[in-house]
């Protein structure tokens, strides 16, 4: 049992239209939207959409998303094997249900109120644990059937996140350095503009008054 997560950074012409197209497409596959957001900063529109897609349709979906883009900036696929966790939970469930059955037998043979209350408390506690473990199992089962896909979209390549890898990639380093330089220059420019505006009150006024007698 494997939980799949995919991350894409896509350069697109129109972020808003791309979000709409992606949403309609995943609905046709039996998937669904978890959340999405759209921002329109001065440097270019950008957005994020998080989806759940049937695992059987994941490869087809990723290819569709690539085709919607002008350029795939980065892509990564992750898988988490939860088989051991699922098997362990099944074993825990058997133990809890067995213990609960024993307390229910004791409950049937209890005579005084004190014994009944103690046994009931144990049964309620065990049922609570059983419900929690079953909830975990349902969560694991659903997530292994529906892959999670997070897509970053932007009309500006430099606003998109990159997936960092261990290998040395000069082209990627150059893009990162360029993006960092642009951001730094923008910040410096903003400071200069603010200083220019506030210089009116920051520069002391010099008033020369001539007295004539």
Q: How confident is the model at residue 42 (pLDDT cuts 50, 70, 90)?
A: low
Instruction: Pinpoint the alpha helices (H) of the chain.
Output: 15-28, 58-68, 83-109, 113-145, 170-202
What pLDDT was estimated at residue 211? 46
Q: How confident is the model at residue 164 (pLDDT cuts 50, 70, 90)?
A: very low
160 is in which domain, residue-wise?
A: 2-82+145-168
Domain-embedded: residue 131:
yes
74 and 11 inside one domain: yes
The predicted model gives 200-205 an average pLDDT of 57
64 and 161 inside one domain: yes
8 and 68 inside one domain: yes
Residue 158 has pLDDT above 60, yes or no: yes
14 and 70 inside one domain: yes
- Average pLDDT taken over every residue of the chain: 81
Domain-embedded: residue 137:
yes
Which of 85-99, 113-127, 174-188 is the least confident region?
A: 174-188
Highest mean pLDDT: which range of 50-54, 153-157, 192-196: 50-54
Domain-embedded: residue 11:
yes
Ramachandran region, residue 44 (left: φ > 0; alpha: ψ -120 to 50; beta: rest): left
Domain-embedded: residue 207:
no
Residue 50 has pLDDT above 90, yes or no: yes
The predicted model gives 94-116 an average pLDDT of 85
What pLDDT was estimated at residue 67? 92
60 and 159 inside one domain: yes
61 and 113 inside one domain: no
Domain-embedded: residue 115:
yes
Give the number of other CB atoms < 10 A from CB of residue 185.
Answer: 10
Per-residue pLDDT of 89-98, as tens digits, reads: 999 999 999 9
Residue 201 has pLDDT above 90, yes or no: no
Domain-embedded: residue 155:
yes
77 and 161 inside one domain: yes
Q: How confident is the model at residue 54 (pLDDT cuts 50, 70, 90)?
A: very high
160 and 174 inside one domain: no
Domain-embedded: residue 210:
no
What pLDDT was estimated at residue 213? 44
What pLDDT was estimated at residue 1? 83
The predicted model gives 170-176 an average pLDDT of 58
Domain-embedded: residue 153:
yes
Q: Domain total for the chain?
A: 3
154 and 63 inside one domain: yes
90 and 36 inside one domain: no
> Which element (helix H / strand E) includes 7?
strand 2-11
106 and 24 inside one domain: no
Query: Rounded to the nearest 10 degrees, how much is the dihedral formed by the CA atoms of 98, 103, 105, 108?
Result: -160
180 and 153 inside one domain: no
């Amino acid at each position: 049992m494997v939980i799949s997560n995919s991350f894409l950074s896509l350069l697109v012409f129109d972020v808003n239209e791309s979000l709409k197209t992606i949403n309609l497409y995943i609905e046709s596959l039996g998937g669904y939207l978890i959340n999405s957001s759209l921002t329109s900063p001065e440097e270019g529109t950008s957005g994020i959409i998080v989806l759940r897609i049937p695992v059987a349709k994941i490869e087809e979906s990723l290819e569709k998303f690539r085709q919607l883009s002008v350029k795939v900036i980065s892509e990564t696929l992750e898988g988490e094997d939860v088989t051991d966790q699922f098997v362990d939970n099944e074993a825990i469930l058997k133990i809890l249900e067995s213990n609960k059955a024993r307390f229910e037998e004791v409950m049937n043979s209890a005579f005084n109120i004190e014994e009944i209350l103690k046994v009931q408390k144990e049964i309620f506690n065990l049922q609570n644990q059983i419900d929690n473990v079953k909830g975990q199992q349902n969560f694991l089962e659903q997530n292994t059937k529906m892959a999670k896909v997070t897509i970053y979209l932007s009309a500006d390549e430099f606003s998109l996140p990159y997936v960092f890898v261990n290998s040395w990639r000069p082209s990627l380093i150059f893009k990162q350095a360029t993006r960092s330089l642009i951001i730094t220059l923008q910040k410096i420019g903003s400071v200069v503009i603010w200083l220019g505006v506030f210089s009116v009150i920051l520069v002391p006024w010099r008033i020369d008054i001539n007295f004539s007698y």
